[in-house]
A and B are shown apart, each in its own frame.
Chain A
Amino acid sequence: MSVLIIVEHDNQSLKSATLHAVTAARECGGNITLLVCGWQCEPVAQAAAKVAGVARVLVADAPCFADGLAENVAAQVVTLAGAFSHVMATATATGKNVLPRVAALLDVAQVSEITRVVDAHTFERPIYAGNVIATVRSSDPIKVISVRATAFEAAPLEGGRALIETIAAVEDTGLSRLISRQTIASDRPELASARIVVSGGRGLGSGAHYAALLEPLADKLNAALGASRAAVDAGYVPNDYQIGQTGKVVAPELYIAVGISGAIQHLAGMKDSKVIVAINKDADAPIFSVADYGLVGDLFEVLPELVAQLG
């Protein structure tokens, strides 16, 4: 077995998302090669070479990779893929964008968001918003796989001493270009990797209430902030906060759901959390069916009290 992993980065630093794919790749067995497609991305290559378990780092450094556009990155991956039994990435927005393009160019199926490696050809993955786990086997010569981050530990950032090899970059496809990028600045822990997540739903009633009630709790617990779709749709918080089938999947040690009913699509994104707390005034809300600790009550009274008692 030999696995090629597409590295996620911003030309300066390696995104920790990639480390989960490294662990999944180790479970498939064989050699691991990381591919960095970037522009002036030397620091990323250096970081990639130190990741434990990695044998080789390939670097394609060219202006056409500056913005991570799928057309160019996929074209580069396809020139290399023939030498590998597996091509992998983590199922982030970036991985989901590029990987199916690679699979189609190779004329193979893609296995999306695996949660377990049974063997090098057989994988488990959730379907129907996580209500069903399918075991699938790929008969394709190259297996193209995206990895659900929460299902695999992150590989250690240190301990590896991989060889770095510069490779020729493909030509710019010229099909697309970046116009602008807006990032949401935050000092809080990253949602996908936070140890504690405090999440709010429609029950909060407004963005002002969301901020006034949930932020102090998140501050106390050094938690990341999340939300249901209803809270995002109503404009309480940005889209990037959404947890669920069509938002982010998280599995923190502690997930506190406040004013969230617990729709199938929301549970899909958080029901693998270690401990779930639900605060809701409706004793019949479905969220209580997955909560380890439930408190039936008005969040406007419960939350200030909770913050106070956390001292």
Chain B
Amino acid sequence: MKILVAVKRVVDFNVKVRVKSDGSGVDIGAVKMSMNPFDEIAVEAAVRLKEAGVATEVVAVSCGPAACQETLRTAMAIGADRGILVECAQELQPLAVAKLLQAVFMREQPRLVVVGKQAIDDDSNQTGQMLAALAGMPQATFASQLQVAGDEVIATREVDGGQETIALKLPAVITTDLRLNEPRYVTLPNIMKAKKKPLEVLTPQALEIDVAVGLTTLKVAEPPARSAGVRLVDVAALVAKLKNEANVI
């Protein structure tokens, strides 16, 4: 079976971003960009299914500017067989991405789609669920275990208060939790190999998808800073502060 994985290029998770002084946006001009960590887990999950003989082909797809080709090359270095970039210079919100992914889904007809549970830049946690809705597929969000069995996929989900295991009819959408796996390091030979793998470039126009946005960002700001705290010399001083100054215990 074929697996489609969606990957997003985001500001690296170690970078603390700054807001532009006019509040018009976040300054990402010169910062390090990487693959969204949850998407690395999604690619790793798909590649492991291929290594286990369950999947026959893993196709990585990314939506965004031309630079997303790098992200797709990383996915191919992890083990994806080919890449598809839906190139689009405009800002893409989750609903637009879900529509683009659905168009790719229709062309490729995979049995399973794996995406990260959220992107660490917009923190939306929407795209997988939206894609599942648009394509009429079942969904297993926040998956920490995954197994394909016949015409079903069985997934364990991380939920508040514990876990649940559900079975979905294929084709289905999985969104990955951090717990699903530990993505492998990409090695130099695999990076070289990835350069030769096919990468197709499409556009929203070619897919006949309108990517107009429903949300307008009016401004961005830094959250209020916490006032500086104090260092205490010992446990007795801490207990005294909590009792008499903060009145919390």
Give the interface of A toward B (CB within 8 A): 69-71, 74, 92-94, 96-105, 107-113, 122, 126-140, 173-184, 192, 196, 221, 229, 233, 238-240, 245-246, 248, 253-254, 264-265, 271, 274-277, 288, 290-296, 302, 305-306, 309-310
Is there an interface contact between B222 and A133, defined as CB atoms closer than 8 Å? yes
The B interface, classified by DSSP as helix, strand, loop or mixed, is mixed
- Please name 18 further chain A to chain B contacts, defined as beta carbons within 8 Å, in addition to the given A139-B216, A181-B164, A240-B162, sorted by A numbering: A96-B125, A97-B129, A103-B126, A104-B134, A107-B95, A110-B124, A111-B215, A127-B220, A131-B16, A132-B17, A135-B220, A175-B137, A177-B166, A246-B178, A274-B248, A275-B248, A294-B231, A310-B239
In the A-B complex, the 5 residue pairs with the closest CB atoms: A109-B214, A175-B138, A100-B129, A104-B130, A104-B133
Asked if residues B159 and A93 are in contact (CB atoms below 8 Å), the reply is yes
| Bound form: Cα–Cα A180–B156 in Å | 9
Asked whether A109 lies within 8 Å of B215 as measured between CB atoms, the reply is: yes
| Residues in chain A near residue B235, CB distance under 8 A | 295, 302, 305-306, 309
Contact assessment for A71 and B223 in the assembled complex, using a CB-CB cutoff below 8 Å: no
Query: What is the CB-to-nearest-CB distance from B207 to chain A, in angstroms, rounded to a whole number?
Result: 17
Q: How far is the CA of A246 from the CA of B38 in the complex (A)?
A: 10
Task: Enumerate chain B residues within 8 angstroms of A126, measured Cβ to Cβ.
Answer: 123, 223
A207–chain B nearest beta-carbon distance, Å: 16
For chain B, which range describes its interface: under 10, 10 to 19, 20 to 34, or 35 or more residues? 35 or more
Are A132 and B232 closer than 8 Å at their CB atoms? no
Is B202 an interface position by the 8 A CB rule? no
B242–A277 contact, CB under 8 A?
yes
Please tell me if B93 contacts chain A, counting CB pairs below 8 Å: yes
Q: Which residue of A lies closest to B17 (CB)?
A: A128
Contact A175 B169 (CB under 8 A): yes
Asked whether any CB of chain A lies closer than 8 Å to the CB of B146, the reply is no
B95 touches A109 (CB 8 A): yes
State which residues 205-234 of B face A: CB under 8 Å: 213-223, 226, 229-232, 234
What residues of A have a CB within 8 angstroms of the CB of B159 in the complex? 93-94
Could you tell me if B167 and A239 are in contact, using CB atoms closer than 8 angstroms?
Answer: no
Tell yes or no: B195 within 8 A of A by CB.
no
Q: Is B158 touching A293 in the complex (CB atoms < 8 A)?
A: no
Closest to B23 in A: A135
Q: Does B246 interact with chain A (Cβ within 8 Å)?
A: yes
| Chain A residue at minimal CB-CB distance from B142 | A93
Which residues of B lie under 8 Å from residue A140 when comparing CB positions? 214
Q: Name which residue of chain B comes closest to A107, CB basis.
A: B95
The chain B residue sitting closest to A105, CB to CB, is: B133
Q: A113-B123, A128-B11 are in contact. Are A254 and B222 (CB under 8 A)?
A: no
Asked whether, in the complex, the Cβ of B223 is within 8 Å of the Cβ of A133, the reply is: yes
Q: Which residue of A lies closest to B14 (CB)?
A: A264
**Given A103-B130, A181-B162, A309-B235: A97 and B223 interface contact (C-beta under 8 Å):** no
Q: How far is A306 from B223 in the complex, measured between Cα atoms in Å?
A: 32
Residues of chain B contacted by A174 (CB below 8 angstroms): 169
